[in-house]
A and B are shown apart, each in its own frame.
Chain A
Amino acid sequence: METLLTILTGILVAVATYLILSRNVQKVVLGTAILSHAAHLLIMTMGKGLKSGSVPILGEGPAYVDPLPQALILTSIVISFAVTALLLVIAYRTFQETGTDNLYEWRDINDE
């Protein structure tokens, strides 16, 4: 399972990288969102063994799955939401000001 998940993560990272290298800012933002999915899955595999116990709530079983990656991911999910929102707004506002979503054209725009 870990290996399968890691390969899936690798594919997600490759896709995200390709999108980030794109010249369209919308794709770049999408790429970062996918990258955070990949990161969350990856952290999950780094625990002490997937499905090796029950839900990490005391009283549910003799053994529990690793709670630490879960806590880390929970923090990460909320942060990546905030970052995605911020990036989206930056993209949107820049489009409003410049009239283009092409990163290559942004370069030639002089501010003021």
Chain B
Amino acid sequence: MNGESIHDNRTAHLLLQFIENNSFIYIEMEDLILLTINLVIIIPLLAAALVPFLHKKNSKIHIGWFIFLIPLTLFILLLRYIPRIANGETLAYTVEWIPTYHINFTAYLDGLSLIFALLITGIGALVTIYSIYYLSSKENLIHFYTYLLLFMGAMLGVVFSDNMMVLYVFWELTSISSFLLIAFWYHRKQSRDGAQKSLLITVTGGIAMLVGFIMLYYMSGTMSVRGVISAVLSFQENPLFIPAMCLILLGAFTKSAQFPFHIWLPTAMEAPTPVSAYLHSATMVKAGIYLVARFTPVFGGEDTWFWLVTSVGLITLFWGSFTAVRQTDLKALLAYSTVSQLGMIMSMFGISSLALNSGFRAESVLFSQAAFAALFHLVNHSTFKGALFMVVGIVDHELGTRDIRRLGGLATLMPITFTIAIVGAFSMAGLPPFNGFLSKEMFFTAVLNAGNAGLSSAIPVVAWVASIFTFVYSMIFVFKTFLGTYKEEKLEHPAHEAPYGMLFSPIVLGSLVVLIFIFPNGLGENLLSPALAGIFPSLAAGENLGVHIALWHGFNTELMMTIGVVLGGILLYMTIRYWKNIYRLFPEHWSFNTLYGNILEQLEVVSRKITDFYMTGYLRDYMVYIYLFFILAVGGMVVFTQSYELEIAENAPISEFEWVVAIVMIIAALSILFAKSRLSAILLNSVLGYGVAIFFVLFRAPDLALTQTVVETVTTVLFLVAYYFLPEWKKEDTRSRSDKVNLAVSIGVGVIFTIIALAVQNGKLFSSISSYFENSYELAGGKNIVNTILSDFRAFDTMLEVVVLLIAGIGVYTLIKVKARKGDTTLEDE
């Protein structure tokens, strides 16, 4: 990695310079440029916090216009890095966070993260414009844009973080913001269910990933992803290596909606369409793919990695496209199509990992091209799928429905939308002259290479069959919606073209689809090749991995496959009503959705049962649990370790007076149990309190004795006043079974407590630190050692104690003074 600059510990240094010179001029420009990568992550997060303030002042202008500036600025900022990245530079900048645990806020910019960052900010900007027209000012825009910016920052954090722990935090933050955005219309039950499902699945995967990260940290001793990559040879043989890999893959698969975790993505379509276009097709669902790409240098050499990633990817590719065909909701169709396309990208990364596999050393460069294709398709998918989602959003917004059965004949009524739909769908189907054609061809090359390498001939076959279904659903999307008969009676609003503002973003994306087809190498050389070098640093050092994307390869197998896809696809599309019954073979109650529902339901039922069993609602029962635990666990430990001992030789002598006080206290304590009236119990309690005060006097603690005496007096007054209003004690049944249990538990607690206290007194592990405080006059200017401890040495405790006291006071005051009248919902201050 040439030209890499790591600046650890620079922040403090910078700050110091700033203070000394009072000017930024002295800071090297280099540092500022590097710092901006960290800022790119922070700016959206900060902006998210500021959105609520933005709204109130500018209610006339749609708030989205202000938000739009943020991704746009970041996009332009990031564009300026392209020349440096294309030159093979990588940039890293570290702000120390928790250096003790190797957790630092390191932003790392290379080709891979730049591609993702450009997608996040670029599509983010387009989606924001789109949302301005999609969401009216009546919606809760503050929430929407806060979540959106939160997501943007988190997602940028995911792709820029070099530190695994920070990566994890941002990773979960994307899940949370996705949850909030799916549940944006939270008054609808489907929205809430979809949000819950997505959160449960992605967070489960995220936690698995965290465990995997911790294992990696344990093996490699570093939290840095680059550190792990460079140290990988030293711990490849570790037995934890494969488990760590599987756990990290679980995180990636759940996030990228891979089979069988794909079920959350279709239900996530309850989100507003801009969100679906942004999070659930262009960016967040690609986080898993990013993770796989990022960790390919670590795990890529393993056979398991290849098989897992490739087969899961291919199954997802097939299942997604196969299921998409049966959908009647346009958004669901696109959701399954996204699942399928993600599987395709995933499988390409799986194949590319063979480049690092020792068994395929000769073909390593050949296989690495699969990763190039994957990245290429990733960008292409974001363009055409983004456009398609926006088309569906337009249809839904203007016509009030997105059900294929109710749509038709819109081509003449919405010509621009129709054109965009054709561009997007044909690109998705892999037809020229659209960018999807190029990446699809490269995908076929990759699977053919894998098939030729003698791995499994099923790989190209599955890919080909899945592509036919892709073709079929792409055609369904365009032709069922825009051709056929126009059924106005089934629509909520008559069809008409969308406003230009709403069309702007899909037009931009649609133009990109064509532009990338015409000039693919601009993208390839400047972004994809550096990213490829980032994924395969060991290969990139030796050879130029750059791929020249050609529009025409001659009549090779790939082209034959495409022609086969088109012919087969047309055949299937024409005959769809004859073979549709095949879907009946997969009954509803066999689906993974039902499984998920059942698991969720059973979890609730079972946890309810467990909770009902032990949460009885009686204070006494809860206390018994705690005490029993104390007796069994703590007491058992004392017995088990034989740690009880009794040594009375070093005890202070007991004077006769002390005997008397102690015996009086014991008698008083026991009499409380038999006290007939409350008054006697309270007085006996104050006997105990004053007894304690006497002991304080005897033990030379004047401060304590004073305090205890006053407090005891005030407490007694309090008890008397409070009990005055409470009813007389009723005689309790002391012969009941629960009472015997209480007695046994109390005696047990007392005995264990005494044993432990005695053991502690005799087995002192540390020498006393108290002699330090005897310097109180020199250190704190006071002769009363106790007081100097309270007010100087340990003033923090005292300060917090005062705060606790205040809280208790406020608690008492509000409990008494603020009451809700019966049948009155408002609180009244008396």
Contacts and interface: CB of A to CB of B under 8 A. Distances in A.
Contacts of A93: 815-816
Contact of A68 (B682, B760, B789, B811): B789
Interface string A61-102: 000111110110111011101111110111111011000111
Contacts of B515: none
B783 A9 contact: no
A4 to B, nearest CB: 6
Contacts of B789: 67-68, 71
A15 B812 contact: no
A2 B651 CA distance: 6
B3 interface: no
A12 B695 CA distance: 15
Contact of B681 (A4, A7, A30, A82): A30
Given A24-B730, A66-B770, A56 B750 contact: no
B393 to A, nearest CB: 43
B4 interface: no
A65 B816 contact: no
B808 A85 contact: yes
B729 interface: yes
Contacts of B784: 56-58
Q: Chain A interface residue count: which class?
A: 35 or more
Contact of B689 (A37, A44, A64): A37
Contact of A10 (B627, B700, B751, B770): B751
A37 B776 CA distance: 28
A41 B815 contact: no
Given A70-B703, A101-B727, A77 B711 contact: yes
A45 B801 CA distance: 23
Contacts of A75: 790, 797-798, 801
Contacts of A86: 808, 811-812, 815
A42 to B, nearest CB: 6
Contacts of B378: none
A12 B681 CA distance: 14
Interface stretch (B5-13, B546-554, B669-677): B669-677
Contact of A103 (B619, B730, B785): B619
Given A2-B651, A6-B754, A11-B666, A79 B725 contact: no
Contacts of B620: 21-23, 103-104
B773 interface: yes
B568 to A, nearest CB: 65
B770 A48 contact: yes
A26 B701 contact: no
Nearest to B794: A71
Contacts of A13: 749-750, 753-754
B726 A26 contact: yes
A5 B695 contact: yes
Contacts of A57: 702, 783-785
Contacts of B812: 85-86, 89
A74 B749 contact: no
A45 B652 CA distance: 10
Contact of A56 (B669, B786, B794): B786
A79 B801 contact: yes
Interface residues of B, number: 94
Nearest to A6: B757
A86 B345 CA distance: 62
A65 B688 contact: no
A27 to B, nearest CB: 8
A65 B745 CA distance: 36
Given A7-B754, A82-B804, A68 B770 contact: yes
A88 B805 CA distance: 15
Interface stretch (B361-369, B523-531, B714-722): B714-722
B592 interface: no
A26 B729 contact: yes
Interface in A1-52: 1-15, 17-24, 26-28, 30, 33-34, 37, 40-42, 44-52
Given A15-B670, A23-B620, A86-B808, A58 B750 contact: no
A82 B805 contact: yes
Given A23-B732, A41-B695, A70-B786, A15 B746 contact: yes
A2 B809 contact: no
B747 interface: yes
B678 A26 contact: yes
B512 to A, nearest CB: 58
B557 interface: no
Contacts of A56: 700-701, 784-786
B757 A67 contact: no
Given A6-B758, A30-B672, A88-B722, A78 B711 contact: yes
A50 B770 contact: no
Interface string B734-761: 0000000011011101110110011011
A3 B758 contact: yes
Contacts of A70: 701, 703-704, 786
A74 B689 contact: no
B726 A58 contact: no
A40 B726 contact: no
B699 interface: yes
Contacts of A53: 700
B808 A83 contact: yes
A49 B726 contact: no
B754 A54 contact: no
A62 B293 CA distance: 72
Given A10-B750, A41-B695, A34 B685 contact: yes
Interface of A: 1-15, 17-24, 26-28, 30, 33-34, 37, 40-42, 44-59, 64-68, 70-71, 73-75, 77-79, 81-86, 88-93, 95-96, 100-104, 107
Given A6-B758, A33-B685, A101-B726, 14 more contacts: A1-B651, A8-B662, A14-B746, A15-B750, A22-B620, A23-B620, A37-B688, A48-B770, A50-B699, A51-B653, A51-B699, A57-B784, A75-B801, A103-B620
Closest 7 CB pairs of A and B: A14-B750, A10-B754, A82-B808, A18-B746, A71-B789, A107-B617, A67-B785
11 contacts: A1-B651, A10-B750, A15-B669, A18-B746, A22-B732, A24-B730, A34-B688, A44-B699, A49-B652, A58-B776, A85-B808
Interface of B: 616-620, 623-624, 627, 646, 648, 650-654, 658-659, 662, 665-666, 669-670, 672-673, 678, 681-682, 685, 688-689, 692, 695-696, 698-704, 707-708, 711, 714-715, 718-719, 722-723, 725-727, 729-730, 732, 742-743, 745-747, 749-751, 753-754, 757-758, 760-761, 768-770, 773-774, 776-777, 783-786, 789-790, 794, 797-798, 801, 804-805, 808-809, 811-812, 815-816
